[in-house]
Structure 1
């Protein structure tokens, strides 16, 4: 028993002190776990097929220094390639010297590390070069190369629509379209079985992978060129007036497609970037809201545009509060149309107070009928909820009704404003704004999104006609007259609203400038809304001088490249009598006049030659008889190609002078060909 006990103790000592590392390594090798394999995230495209957001592969490079190939023949492959591999690595990454890489590789080889980290986050072009390096080009078994792929999300156009496209982040919530369509874009994750080796490191086990399913692509309604125009115009004004933040929305009238959406916010260093989706943020809209007020009054037939209203020199007291027009003036009785064109707050407040004071909820119902109390339903998360108060609201007061008439005590997002103005442009039909055309898999659409009609008509056609006239009047004789274009009609409304600062209230004199409209007014193609929050005591504050120029720059450029279509000329097409025509083969001319559907007369056959001219607005063809046998062909009036064909087939050597069609030939047509077979032709 003593001998047996000694033997056990001896074996324990051997296991712990002699064979300990071996058995610990074996125990580690029995520990396995699954790790997730991320799918390649789908790509977001613009409507014309340009990448707006995509995944780019990056690689972590590791080396299996226990690979059979590297250990064979006392490490001959490693030894033979060490110097050249070190030189190649130092040249590619330029972060260490050749000797430093040499030392690093030697340490890894000595440790027999099966998962030695060489480099993190190398790009695809670096990886392609690295695969051709000495030793690595032999593959994993002989060269020990292990490449782990991971994807990084990039926006190739960087700032353009960056907030709308959104961000896909590993450790934070996605935003924009990346968030809304995350379930389609992210795909299905896979699994990989990993085995633990010495040192607590896990290495993949071959043959135990469950491959991920790549994400689907989405095609948006955005147009990169239009987005660039919108972003540039907004950025120019933001910098010029040192604005706090701003948004510009461009919507296609007939469909509700969002073609461009820019959101710019001022950063602490004075620069601007897409930091928040201001187009979806609800705030007091100001005078652009007066469109809804006028629709309510006209629909109830309380007023006509030609009725009179007293502007009271630009101020009107309601209880203990006073309504002021944004610009001082000396006007009293004017037409309601003129009051709207001048954006009079007093006129709107007076009219609404006069006709709805005893029934305020009747006015509210009109606003609700225009869907101003509901979100637009755009396919983008984070849309701010609008506020339209009624008499049951806790904040309702005696002055709520008149103040709502000119866009205060209500909350609307720029997108909601765009939706309403777009309905006017679309002959009363309200469209739901949307940002995605389709979801694609392997290049084929699996989901498509079509324009959705929210309301067939927001008001009667009679009211609509009056409203359109008033919006066009704003640009001709109202607050938007400085934005008038002689080339196309614009319909729109300016807005200037005093907004409260969170610390100083209204004393900070911070104004929100806005403009909402559509163009061309006689055949609307696009609706554009611009909303900009200015800095305190800004140099320019009015909608016509801050937001309006952004709208005008966008509309001018889009009219030039996307809207203005050349109209066909009226009248009968005329053939230019100065057109240079050449004699030639009948079959060639017949092909030309038939293809281009040109008027002609004469005879054109496969074999004849003709003299071409223009007579009475028609091409006229006269047979051009060519003498046969040993006589010189007549090539006057022909182009060089036909002339060479005839002359060289007759056995003549041709000397050419000039360009154009043949005007003279040294040997007249029809003369006999003698011993001198050289002919000079002059072209002009």
Structure 2
């Protein structure tokens, strides 16, 4: 009996112990979840870290004379760490002492909330001990500068809790000007224009930042664990802002006046192939115009400007001369159940080939090509292919349309394909192809590749240069070239462009008027494409200009000479007055970029201040007493001390005028200045002993 009681007592004791232990476990679980839950959840979150991308500063796109065409400007997100040591210091009480004045300052700066409202949200963040409290998004640099001096924030991150996150937004300072050619740098969609082509250079190398996950699923940066990004390089284009403005303005004037659908105008430097301006305008639903598509590289049927290529084939094969007679049939020629019409009505019959070209006769071109190539049509196509009209130009823009020159192997080849090709139908090419061909005639037969970028630079120093490229040394014989030039001038003097003549200079070109199809409606709406291609001045060509404009249906004015021609004439007039008649370097030199890219020697302390303000890495001593020469080496600014010995001529090469004058005049020299910019040469070498009343000549560029 005693044994049984002993066993039961021990069993009850174990049961009671297990019950107490179970209750303790349940109590601890409840305590952890309900009382200390937030603490342990935050602790768990703090153990989660990850490296996140740190975007590099995107490079800037410049015009040839150094103006910014596309650049990134900084915007800032402002956050507060309400668990910063200073804010939680009970002895100093920084937050309570500064919250009122900070709220007033924020209200005055942003003017979107009252001081009381700002105070309320700041107090809520402080109460919640939010480590990554978002105060304001996307503030400008000038606002950020003011905000840094506000109460509490001027104490810095550890005491004031200020967290600043920098991000960049891409802008085109000139807005419409060459907008589509320069392109857009977009985060969530495909870049276009030069922003796309040179994205690898512009974007730089992404860095890394260690981020710690905190409550709420957000991340905050961990200081001291950044892998700095490598900023993008700068792109120096061939574009000229002044010329672009002239071309864009002339095109816009005609587009608005004639309510055109879309148009493009290309300006090309004859000797080099540099594209100085590309304007693209499309009509928007509200009637305004914008650079919505790069029509300069979109392919289509060129129309009568293509007759230049036809003439090259006929003249080169020796089938005709400019004085060969051709019957225009009063502007109407039936062939294979279709009829070729001249775009402008007339009553002409037998005329010379030169006169037929000047009058832009479709009948003449179709008859001649059909007469000499009907038994060997691929020979005519071969001429066109030899001129490069079947391949992209290779311009540094993504999305260039691939042209088409038909042969008998094409499924769409028909009995009328050959004669229609003669005057620019049943072939496709871009306006840039037209510009390249006409530019070759202007350039003495030498065909140049069109291009848009002079160089890639870093801190003003070239990383990669692009030079003019010859595509073809000669597109034809000298005899054919002379005939072509004479005929192109004849178009202006006594052909379809006589109304464009000017007494001040001569230019050459060709009009084009093409009826184009409008989808399923075909040709019923009478939509015409007006074009003009030419160069100026005729006796010493400097620029080639091509204008192509699509008119609205049933437009009252649609001939190439009256729609596209005036745009060409306005561009030629202004550029002749500015850059041809009175030669001056409108485009400047690549070395003449603005001060943001110029590297000059100077006072060490001033360079130190610049490097610190802009956050630029550098090597070399920079003190308040030394003078240095500046360069870029290994992605860093590199400074070398400039030796200055008493009684000797200072070496001021590479310095700006202010610093050079200071050193030279303090050394007792009389200074004669030539040029502007930074010192390139000095008449007395550095280290030379100085004589009495000695003069030194410094040249700047």
TM-score band by shorter chain is: 0.7 to 0.9
Give 1:500 deviation, angstroms. Answer: 0.4
Partner-residue secondary structure (3-state), 2:87: helix
1:133 maps to: 150
| 1:474 is aligned to 2:494 | no
Q: How far apart, in 2, do the equivalents of 1:16 and 1:85 lie?
A: 37
TM-score (norm 1): 0.82
Q: How far apart, in 2, do the equivalents of 1:411 and 1:116 lie?
A: 59
Give 1:204 deviation, angstroms. Answer: 0.7
2:391 maps to: 374
Q: How far apart, in 2, do the equivalents of 1:429 and 1:37 lie?
A: 48
Farther off after superposition, 386-395 or 26-35? 26-35
Evaluate the alpha carbon distance shift between residue 340 and residue 524 of structure 1 in structure 2; reply closer, same or farther with a 3 A threshold. Answer: same
The structure with the larger Rg is 1
1:649-677 deviations in Å (ceiling 9; x for gaps): xxxxxxxxxxxxxxxxxxxxxxxxxxxxx
Query: Which stretches in structure 1 are left out of the alignment for 5+ residues?
Result: 568-684
Query: Which stretches in structure 2 are left out of the alignment for 5+ residues?
Result: 1-16, 585-701
2:366 maps to: 349
| 1:556 is aligned to 2:573 | yes
2:455 maps to: 438
Give 1:68-467 correspondences, 5 Å limit: 68-73=85-90, 76-467=93-484
Give 1:566 deviation, angstroms. Answer: 7.2
Q: How far apart, in 2, do the equivalents of 1:391 and 1:369 lie?
A: 17
Q: How far apart, in 2, do the equivalents of 1:11 and 1:235 lie?
A: 78
Partner-residue secondary structure (3-state), 1:222: coil
1:585 maps to: none
2:13 maps to: none
Q: How far apart, in 1, do the equivalents of 2:109 and 2:529 lie?
A: 53
1:113-159 deviations in Å (ceiling 9; x for gaps): 01000100011111111111111111111111111000000000000
2:67 maps to: 50
Q: How far apart, in 2, do the equivalents of 1:491 and 1:114 lie?
A: 71
Runs of 4+ in 1 over 6 A off after TM superposition: none
Q: How far apart, in 2, do the equivalents of 1:262 and 1:78 lie?
A: 56
Q: How far apart, in 2, do the equivalents of 1:397 and 1:344 lie?
A: 22
Partner-residue secondary structure (3-state), 2:322: coil
Q: How far apart, in 2, do the equivalents of 1:82 and 1:8 lie?
A: 45
Which of 519, 535, 544 is matched with 2:552 structurally? 535
1:480-533 deviations in Å (ceiling 9; x for gaps): 111111111101000000000013110110000000000001000000000000
Q: How far apart, in 2, do the equivalents of 1:266 and 1:485 lie?
A: 31
RMSD: 1.1
Farther off after superposition, 79-88 or 406-415? 79-88
1:505 maps to: 522
Q: How far apart, in 1, do the equivalents of 2:195 and 2:553 lie?
A: 35
Q: How far apart, in 2, do the equivalents of 1:347 and 1:228 lie?
A: 39
Farther off after superposition, 76-85 or 232-241? 76-85
Give 1:13 deviation, angstroms. Answer: 2.9
1:538-579 deviations in Å (ceiling 9; x for gaps): 121000000000000000000000011379xxxxxxxxxxxx
Partner-residue secondary structure (3-state), 2:51: strand
Give 1:12 deviation, angstroms. Answer: 2.6
Q: How far apart, in 1, do the equivalents of 2:530 and 2:233 lie?
A: 40
| Number of aligned residue pairs | 567
2:605 maps to: none
Q: How far apart, in 2, do the equivalents of 1:144 and 1:465 lie?
A: 77
1:490 maps to: 507
Q: How far apart, in 1, do the equivalents of 2:37 and 2:196 lie?
A: 52
1:665 maps to: none
